Amino acid sequence: MTDVRTPPTAAVPTDALKKVGFISLGCPKALVDSERILTQLRAEGYQVAGSYEDADTVIVNTCGFITPAVEESLNAIGEALDATGKVIVTGCLGERPETIMERHPKVAAITGSEAVDDVMRHVRELLPQDDNPFTSLLPSTGVKLTPRHYAYVKIAEGCNHTCSFCIIPKLRGLQVSRDAGAVLYEAFRLIAGGTKELMIISQDTSAYGVDVRYRESEFQGEQVRAHLVDLAQKLGEMGAWVRMHYIYPYPHIENVVRLMAEGKILPYLDVPLQHAAPSVLKRMRRPGAGKQLETIRRWREICPELTIRSTFIVGFPGETESDFQLLLDFLEDARLDRVGAFTYSEVEEADATHFEDRVPEAVKQERLARFMEVAQRISAEKLQEKVGRVMDVIIDEFNDDEGDAPGTKLIGRTKGDAPGIDGQVYLYAGDLAGQVKIGDIVEAIIEDADEYDLYGEVQAVKPWKPNVPMLGHFGKH
């Protein structure tokens, strides 16, 4: 579903409202249409649903500009139909109803682009409003579809591994990679619409394309392989921040790290290692396990700026004190920048549920505390090394206290921090108070650091010049 942030509906009980899902595809011009439709929906007392499950009907604002966009639109219509059975199609592809009807004869209505009134007429027919005393209370404020400055791009679904603590392959099935062309067009559209940072995600990003044998597909008249290195290269050429999540330490990742050293994509790898003791890794059935330290050293040789994030499980069945000690030693040697840890907990249906030699809860907790102590110290030391440096920081939010002029204090992230999971940079805007916008990338001098976060002051706002034509002025706040 589209990333629509609706204004709060104050005291209106939300279950009293009819809910409309909205998928907005296409260029920023189509986004403007989407904003208009969403504004009208709210003005008439409909609520925008956050998921298919919540939606009574779905509007798909389509793009028909190029073949992959048509395909993406048709797929989105199919998904929405499967989920709700009631779909209104609008936008560019709506100009070619025969294409839609051929694939999806059950759509409820089709309109062309810039057809807010027609769309609303169909919504009213499908979801008539009863005399609801609450809807009259709704404000008719405009809905902004302003894209956030970062976005997640999923490149594959499912997973081909059989980690013994995980049931994702059972839930989602084997890996199905998207065509590189589809991913690249999505990235292109996002960047054109104002997105500055793309988080590349899947269950095992390093295995991208294996299932489709690195099939080629079209992007801007060229054939591109569904291979992580090729994809990263092409994404990097678009000029936005590109961040890689869920990478396993396979040999070809070295070539991705080379792209980081060249400044094409962010020097950041999220590598969930889960453990370091060979016997535990074996029981976990982890992909890419073994020689972890060597691999990390090699990556750092290629790209000294690299930030490595990882997650670990402590107290996995059979983990002995000496296994755990190996893990602590690994942590000291690898000096990972960002580390998360969890105690092992059982997941119904996971194979590890039947493993013997469970670690008592108290031991798990004690190991977690010891682990976090080491991880925190290393993180603090590594962040301390950044004090005095000038770093690029992407601004996520304002942090003004009462009485501050707007935009005096800001919170952002460096290239080494993913949103939500890593550290933050707390900044004073200084002379630039009021001039820095959310989503801007600034140069900041780092003045202080603690275990997780950095502190500093903005020195300059960097111009934003992606290699993608900006089709509108989105992202302004």
Kindly list the residues in this chain that would bind ligand SF4 in the complex (CB under 6 A): 159, 161, 163, 166, 168-169, 203-204, 287
State which residue, 124 or 170, has the beta carbon closest to ligand SF4: 170
Q: How many helices, marked H, and strands, marked E, lie in the chain?
A: 12, 20
Residue 476 DSSP class: -
* Beta carbons of 111 and 119 less than 8 angstroms apart: yes
Q: Which of 445, 383, 454 is nearest to 412 (CA)?
A: 454
> CB of residue 370 vs ligand SF4: minimum separation in angstroms?
24
> CB of residue 155 vs ligand SF4: minimum separation in angstroms?
14
* Beta carbons of 80 and 23 less than 8 angstroms apart: yes
* Beta carbons of 408 and 139 less than 8 angstroms apart: no
* Beta carbons of 212 and 157 less than 8 angstroms apart: no
State which residue, 50 or 287, has the beta carbon closest to ligand SF4: 287
Cβ neighbours of residue 364 closer than 8 Å, sequence gap 6 or more: 314, 315, 343, 344
Q: What is the CA radius of gyration of the chain?
A: 24
Q: In what order do the strands lie in the sheet with 307-314?
A: 150-154, 197-201, 241-244, 268-270, 307-314, 338-343
State which residue, 58 or 166, has the beta carbon closest to ligand SF4: 166
> CB of residue 316 vs ligand SF4: minimum separation in angstroms?
13
Q: What stretch of H or E contains 192? A: helix 180-192
State which residue, 163 or 184, has the beta carbon closest to ligand SF4: 163
State which residue, 83 or 210, has the beta carbon closest to ligand SF4: 210
> CB of residue 7 vs ligand SF4: minimum separation in angstroms?
37
Cβ neighbours of residue 258 closer than 8 Å, sequence gap 6 or more: 302, 303
Rounded to whole angstroms, the Cα distance separating 46 from 211 reads 42
3-class secondary-structure state, position 364? helix
> CB of residue 314 vs ligand SF4: minimum separation in angstroms?
16
Task: Say if residue 159 carries a ligand binding annotation.
Answer: yes
DSSP letters of 275-323? Answer: ---HHHHHHHT-TT-S-HHHHHHHHHHH-TT-EEEEEEEES-TT--HHH
> CB of residue 280 vs ligand SF4: minimum separation in angstroms?
14
State which residue, 157 or 457, has the beta carbon closest to ligand SF4: 157
State which residue, 142 or 287, has the beta carbon closest to ligand SF4: 287
> CB of residue 79 vs ligand SF4: minimum separation in angstroms?
22
State which residue, 108 or 168, has the beta carbon closest to ligand SF4: 168
> CB of residue 88 vs ligand SF4: minimum separation in angstroms?
36
> CB of residue 403 vs ligand SF4: minimum separation in angstroms?
48
Task: Work out the number of other CB atoms within 10 angstroms of the CB of residue 202.
Answer: 23
State which residue, 169 or 318, has the beta carbon closest to ligand SF4: 169
* Beta carbons of 342 and 314 less than 8 angstroms apart: yes
* Beta carbons of 374 and 332 less than 8 angstroms apart: yes
Task: Say if residue 303 carries a ligand binding annotation.
Answer: no
Task: Say if residue 27 carries a ligand binding annotation.
Answer: yes
Q: What stretch of H or E contains 245? A: none
Task: Say if residue 63 carries a ligand binding annotation.
Answer: yes
* Beta carbons of 293 and 273 less than 8 angstroms apart: no
Phi and psi, residue 349, nearest 5°: 80, -10
Binding residues for [4Fe-4S] cluster: 27, 63, 92, 159, 163, 166
Binding residues: 27, 63, 92, 159, 163, 166
